[in-house]
Amino acid sequence: MVGLRRAAPDNPAGGWLTVLASQLKHNSMDSPLLQRALISVSDKLGLVDFARGLATAGVQIFSTGGTGRYLEEHGITVHDVAEYTGFPEMMDGRLKTLHPKVFGGILCRHDRPDDMAALVEHQIERFDLIVVNLYPFEETVARNEVTPSEAIEQIDIGGPSLVRAAAKNHSFVTIATHPEQYSAILEQLDAQGGTTLEMRRRLAGDAFTCTAQYDQAISDYFNRLESTDRFPTTFQKSFRRKSILRYGENPHQQAALYSDAPPSGANLVSSRKLHGKELSYNNLLDLDSALVIARSLPLPGVVVVKHNNPCGAASGSSLVEATKKALAGDPVSAFGSILGFNQAVDAAVADHLSTPGLFVEAIVAPNFEPAALEILTSKPKWKNNVRLVQVGTVSNNSHQSECRFIAGGVLVQDANDQPDDESQWNIVTEISPDDEQLQDLRFAWSVVRHVKSNAIVLVRQQSIVGAGAGQMSRVDAVEIAIRKAEERASNSVLASDAFFPFPDSIEQAAQAGIAAIIQPGGSRRDPEVIDACNKHRLPMIFTNARHFKH
């Protein structure tokens, strides 16, 4: 069946009502035959194989200029939409598919004689499959140098109209908006000549999600252009499900992973798992923390994460030295931990990680050198036990917003991912830290913001030697950090994520041999805290910036 056409007027016996009856007899809402497709896409991924599969199945392919030329270059026969409608593309492609002969063929209800008669009357071909993905608006406006005129030309008009029309009429029309959908459509086409209503309904849902996200991206762009507010009056974000997880934080909780779009920079969701079992909900949380912390460390840097807190972190003259120092920070807690690197993992690091008795759940790094990958995937110790996650180049300039859902709404804030301005730091004690102490203080201050509040971090030679995390009182956090560090507390430096409300923590630090302190300041008892430091000859810096992590 090529399509519905008006019968010649001098042939009453073969009139168009007879043709119409024949067509209606072959129509089925459960699985209508897929005979004609309209393809107009900006993303050509997987398109040639898909179109070739359609053509092999006898599906006629109609297409617009750019897509049509691309398919013809790959040897696929295409019917030009402009020739079919008798109306040329114009206005630099702004007007291509917006025509009754296109939308009539999409919107007609195959079980309605009046709809089908209208097709015959106006010589409109029926379209059973619409393949559309939209202009890359989000990718365009993500570029720093994009101009408003460039952005406006990436606002798709015909594409969303085609998608919405096909999705509305999904009882009879199949709509594909993403290359991931192509193979399933071909499978059903090969098996039964068309697609099931179940599939068409699912694809329609995906299609409306696609256009909703697209319109939201455009709305967000214009709001940013016109608004002087840091936060818009309406906040919406869309996510696409990437995977179903085995379970959530605990086995009785179901969970899934969704990706933001468009992806920006090195991130865990768009990373590549090179080895190991599937990542769990808790793995993903810890890996994300490890990536964020590793990004903030001096090069080369390594962090050891356990239950979303760094139990070890270090920088060194080489990556393997930093690895050894980081793992030594809290060897007991390091068992079953997550490791984060800000440089490519090399063979020396892989050899050290193969030390008997050391167990690591997962590793996230920019890259893994081939020799390191061989060690970490071939030795019997590792087998499938360690997950290796490659994220690409990491940098410390993300400056993104972060969201946290609460009952009835969502909290949005700037991510705490930017280094502090040291010009705001003040030495408030009678003596100043020496150069080595200052280097360790900087390192401690870069790490303490990533520890759950109330947070205390002890650092020596650019390596965590003790940490007190998530305590209800700051004095308890100091006590835990000192106990963790044991004899290493002596001559270490101490960082506190918020001010000391009383001088009692200073007394604890002095008794443990702490050499210098860095904290935000801002307590009404700051003079008492400073006096306690001066009494014990402890240099102290006020940063004038707090780093709570709740």
- Residues assigned a catalytic role: 168, 307
Q: Helix 158-168 to helix 100-107 angle, to the nearest 10 degrees?
A: 30
Going by their DSSP bridges, the two strands 540-542 and 426-427 should be labelled as antiparallel
Place of tokens 């010589």: 123
Whole-angstrom Cα distance, residue 266 to residue 64? Answer: 36
CA atoms within 13 A on the CB side of 35: 15
C-beta of residue 371 within 8 angstroms of C-beta of residue 350: yes
Q: In what order do the strands lie in the sheet with 60-63?
A: 79-80, 60-63, 36-41, 129-133, 174-176
DSSP letters spanning 509-525: HHHHT--EEEE----TT
> How many other C-beta atoms lie within 10 A of the C-beta of residue 263?
12
Q: Which of 103, 87, 83 is nearest to 95 (CA)?
A: 87
Instruction: Report the distance separating Cα 165 and Cα 38, nearest Å.
Output: 13
**CA pair distance 356, 352, nearest whole angstrom:** 9
Q: Within 10 Å of residue 330's Cβ, how many Cβ atoms?
A: 21
Q: Which two tokens stand for residue 94?
A: 């702004």
Q: Which amino acid is at 323?
A: T
Structure tokens at 505: 């923590």
| Positive/negative CA dihedral, 129, 261, 256, 344 | positive
Tell me the C-alpha distance between 50 and 70, whole Å: 13
Distance between CA atoms of residues 377 and 37, nearest Å: 46
The H or E element spanning position 53 is: helix 47-56
Q: How far separated are the first and last CA of the chain, in Å rounded?
A: 65
Note whether 466 and 485 are within 8 A (CB): yes
